Structure 1
């Protein structure tokens, strides 16, 4: 048996504070603590420009002498693979009230590449189980990047769409997916270094985004990355993508100098924990409960005494603790009908104040019943109640004769 219990006088202020916090979606979001979710992006680097395009079917505007000069240079660029370690910082409430707005904040961690990076994009899934009321880039949270970060809602093809399944962090949706076929190649100049970009061996961090959401009662709202295939492949369905500069070559003939930049178009898929939910928020109302207890008021030591408790509104789950005074005498699960029972043998005679306490959870708050006192006696012991005494009329003493005569004489005079 345990002699520790939570006093009602102390529990009520705590419950009240907790209830106010959970009923206020703003307070809940503010009190949510940031946590780190480790993510690994597995990447494949596709040669860029594609050597086959240059060597087998070069564009007509490239002089034949330039193709011949570039052929041995571009052909050395091959496919590569790499991994990027990431740690997404997530701030989200664990529980909110139905149909109330709440905020989730997500930010990728610090990263670094050994070559110049450009046209960087990072894709999140539009949260499941919720209505997306609004979304924005948090100003001043990007680090080590050139370009102005934007947040664009896109469809699976990467096109802006108000009903798209994904949210893309980029710079104006300039990505590896929509790069020009020949970018900064043969003096073409424009495009390779556009979008979000950073230098080689320079630490950078994408900006945080804030999502304003609402959910219906009973929903579970989850956020996550755009996952795509486990094995990375060229295409839209990836967690992040970018261009990396590999090398720059210069060739000249007939008094004309041409420059060709050869690199990789990198496509990355989230692996491990990155394929799971970044945050989970439960949407449900909070209920103040009431617990009532039923027990026989007289018992013998050693007899089985059934103590029952009913919790309203019915949570259909949870635990009720039963106490004899301050001593915990047992626990019982709440059934589908909202009741819990305990069979107990009182060992000591005397008066036993019995109470029941529903432990509660984040949806159904705890409550404690009033005490019911059980009088416990020893078997065979006769308890005789004392007979009440009959009321007795007051008796006044008779006056003494001398005093009576004196009084009479005085009256005669």
Structure 2
């Protein structure tokens, strides 16, 4: 009789979630709210006699991030986790608490973290250790160079941490509330990033490697329900974005928001080439090379400060024009690059070219 009651003690204490759609006041005007909805599948493993149990429910996460930023620009990303709802009872068992809550995110690529913080006043129904943000490594240890950003109660979680436990209350705690479900809200987190030189900055949940396997302590969302009937039982729970226990990762493992980095305009150097010596009256080719190789804009050639012809289009970093020297003497040839999208204009140093009535020995360009 007692064993039968223990088996009923803890069912899959699943994650019934809805979108936390609050947009934080003070987010930069260019921020664009993005809501990603996906299925979460959670594995709960009750202590005592009851065996592992699985549950799949819909979840949504809201991210406020700008659609694009300039290279090197600082900007804010605000992430709102969904409210969580856990049944208070099942077959006579009574939920006491849900604790050791944590949500893991990947540290974004192509950007560096300037600061991170919990947004005050955005959580509800929580007690225990105050939520904080820690940067941890794959082993769950605090590491300034870690690849994971962890929302938890000072790293007191069910696993993947030096301060883990699967059979004691700790960390962030949500005590059971009157009613059929205990509902609580984790706080918003705000991360200030500095964009790198190029690419895209993606906000993603932790799903790489072991974190993407079903029922793993490295899963992005884990927690510890506690319930009683005749005894106290614990049900460490791991959740990952998948449609079932045997399904692959779903869209929840992809970018929750993406910010495109607008590359800074590249500084250019323009070099002009012309024969060192030419026969007066012969047509020669003048060439301007733009480095790095721009594909756009124009070059205006000049001789002795006077433009010759009109601007010449730059293709694959080069522009050429034909010119005839009709005056004896030493001439200064220059080229002015106009610049183009992504490239800054530049002016070449003068190239000296002598013209004479007799043919001179050719000089290599």
The TM-score normalised by the length of structure 1 is 0.50
Equivalent position SS for 1:113: strand
After superposition, where does 1:310-389 map in structure 2 within 5 Å? Answer: none
Aligned partners of 1:28 and 1:96 also within 8 Å = no
Equivalent residue number for residue 145 of structure 1: 126
Equivalent residue number for residue 129 of structure 1: 110
Alignment equivalent of 2:146, drawn from 164, 171, 184? 164
Aligned partners of 1:103 and 1:211 also within 8 Å = yes
**Which one has a larger percent strand, Structure 1 or Structure 2?**
2
Alignment of 1:212 with 2:192, yes or no, is yes
Alignment of 1:114 with 2:87, yes or no, is yes
Equivalent residue number for residue 278 of structure 2: none
CA distance in 1, matches of 2:295, 2:86: 54
1:251-270 Cα deviation digits (max 9, x unpaired): xxxxxxxxx31131101112
Equivalent residue number for residue 309 of structure 2: none
Of stretches 192-201 and 139-148 in structure 1, the one that deviates more from structure 2 is 192-201
Alignment of 1:96 with 2:73, yes or no, is no
Equivalent position SS for 2:151: strand
Deviation at 1:229, TM superposition (A): 5.0
1:180-225 Cα deviation digits (max 9, x unpaired): 46x4xxxxxxx32553324261222211111111123222111110
Equivalent residue number for residue 251 of structure 2: 273
Equivalent residue number for residue 202 of structure 1: 182
Alignment of 1:82 with 2:55, yes or no, is yes
Equivalent position SS for 2:29: helix
Equivalent residue number for residue 261 of structure 2: 283
Give the superposed CA RMSD. 3.2
Q: Radius of gyration: which is bigger?
A: 1
Aligned residue pairs, count = 232
Any gaps of 5 or more consecutive residues in structure 2?
A: 1-25, 89-96, 243-249, 266-291, 297-312, 318-339, 344-365
1:353-397 Cα deviation digits (max 9, x unpaired): xxxxxxx99x79xxxxxxxxxxxxxxxxxxxxxxxxxxxxxxxxx
Deviation at 1:42, TM superposition (A): 1.2
Deviation at 1:158, TM superposition (A): 1.2
Aligned partners of 2:126 and 2:172 also within 8 Å = no
Equivalent position SS for 1:212: strand
Equivalent residue number for residue 41 of structure 1: 40
Equivalent residue number for residue 263 of structure 1: 234
**Which one has a larger percent helix, Structure 1 or Structure 2?**
1
Equivalent residue number for residue 32 of structure 1: 31
The TM-score normalised by the length of structure 2 is 0.56
